[in-house]
Amino acid sequence: MSLQQPDIESEYFSLSEQEIFLRIAERKKELANRLLILCHHYQQESLFQFADLTGDSLKLAREAAAIHDREFIIFCGVHFMAESADILARSHQKVMLPHLHAGCPMADMASVGAVSMAYRDLVEEGVVQDALSVVPVTYVNSSAAIKAFVGERGGSVCTSSNAERVLAWALTKGEKVFFFPDEHLGRNSALALGIPADEVLVWRRGELLGGNSVEQLRHARILLWDGYCEVHMRFLPDHVRRWRLLMPDVQIMVHPECASDVVQIADRYGSTEAIIEAVKKSPADSKWAIGTEINLVERLQRQYPDKEIHLLAPSSCQCSTMARNQPVNLLWLLDNLAAGTVMNQIQVAPDVAALARISLEQMLSI
């Protein structure tokens, strides 16, 4: 990420955690009618406690966009989430990120340059007659530039909850679908739709034709960019098997960013919102082993003490880039806002935002 986080004055780091919390609460009251704080489910509790709205990335961006009277929107999440909020926000609203280095490695795995070259290669090698016959679908966990690329070419954004529907739509619109940046969400969605395995190919970054032959590419209906979530790749089939031995009546639920060999042997899979809803609706004394980010799992443990909830993996699975957002960063942002200075603003260029909005609106219409 090219954005550089400004240095925070050293006095902030001499404050105790309790002092930071008290000052954040005071600044929230002071800026009350001008401020909206959003927190993603994977954000640590020390920030989550100050959220006005919580949810997954797209839900938060959409809910924030419906609130027109708040001038300042602070997104406690990662860069692509703040970009989505800026794309959907009104012109008078300013979107900020507590720490500018809070990025998403998976989103960074698919650049516009690399994806554009892949499209060019498909045409030049005669795999397809023209680029328009390859419908692009991008996971919402992608940059605004990628969303704009998709919007310009008649494709759609998807989320972890609607990826199967969007993929099914895309398959009716062109000869092939190119799904990025998450290989695993794409494969799990293709499997759910019953697409034969030999019609789903991985496009490996940096390799000629993605490491595939022209014949393989011509036969394929779905091409998967080889991106992945570092957190969800830590969950393994052996973890599922271990919990089945330890606790035969456990329900195992994983996020669809997990590898397909994990998803296929879990009891169910779903988005962060789906995981929350499943646990919420389950009876008391139910037992769960959940394959997703640790902050969400620990929050569910606190919210539902009458249920036995475990992290699927034996070691912590934290989104380390989102964890760069700390309470001290939030306090620093709020102090600057109170003094009339906007720091860490995320701004998507108007031409990019217009095209990216097309791909987001396409998803909503499906």
Which pLDDT does position 65 carry in this prediction? Answer: 83
In this structure, the answer to whether residues 61 and 153 fall within a common structural domain is no
Say what the pTM is.
0.94
Q: How many domains does the chain have?
A: 3
Cβ(214)–Cβ(121) below 8 Å: no
Amino acid at 112: V
CATH number for the domain that contains residue 262: 3.40.50.10800
**What is the per-residue pLDDT across 130-168, written as a single tens digit (0 to 9) for each?**
888 999 999 999 999 999 999 999 999 999 999 999 999
- Give me 21's structure tokens: 């919390």
- 179 close to 167: Cβ distance less than 8 angstroms: yes
Q: Give the model's pLDDT for residue 1.
A: 47
Note the pLDDT of residue 118. 97
Identify which of 57, 15, 3, 41 has the alpha carbon closest to the alpha carbon of residue 332.
15
Rounded to an integer, the average pLDDT of 74-80 is 96
In this predicted structure, the answer to whether residue 282 has a pLDDT above a threshold of 70 is yes
% of the chain exceeding 70 in pLDDT: 99
The answer to whether residue 2 sits within a structural domain is no
311-350 pLDDT tens trace: 999 988 999 999 999 999 999 999 999 999 999 999 999 9
Is 362 inside any structural domain?
no
Q: For residue 287, name the pLDDT band (cuts at 50, 70, 90).
A: very high
Question: Do 139 and 26 share a structural domain?
Answer: no
pLDDT band, very low/low/confident/very high, at 14 (cuts 50, 70, 90):
very high
Q: pLDDT exceeding 90 applies to what percent of the chain?
A: 93
Residues 143 and 222 in one domain: yes
Q: Are residues 119 and 161 in the same domain?
A: yes
- Residue at token pair 């879990």: 266
Is pLDDT of 268 > 50?
yes
Q: Are residues 59 and 18 in the same domain?
A: yes
Q: Do the domain assignments include residue 5?
A: no
Give 37-62 pLDDT, tens digit per residue.
Answer: 999 999 999 999 999 999 988 788 88
| Per-residue pLDDT reduced to its tens digit, 175-199 | 999 999 999 999 999 999 999 999 9
192 and 268 together in one domain: no
**How many H-runs (helices) and E-runs (strands) does the chain carry?**
16, 13
What is the domain extent for residue 306? 232-311
**Alpha-carbon torsion (292, 294, 299, 302), positive or negative:** positive
CA distance 231 to 60: 21
Q: State the pLDDT confidence band at 366, using cuts at 50, 70 and 90.
A: confident
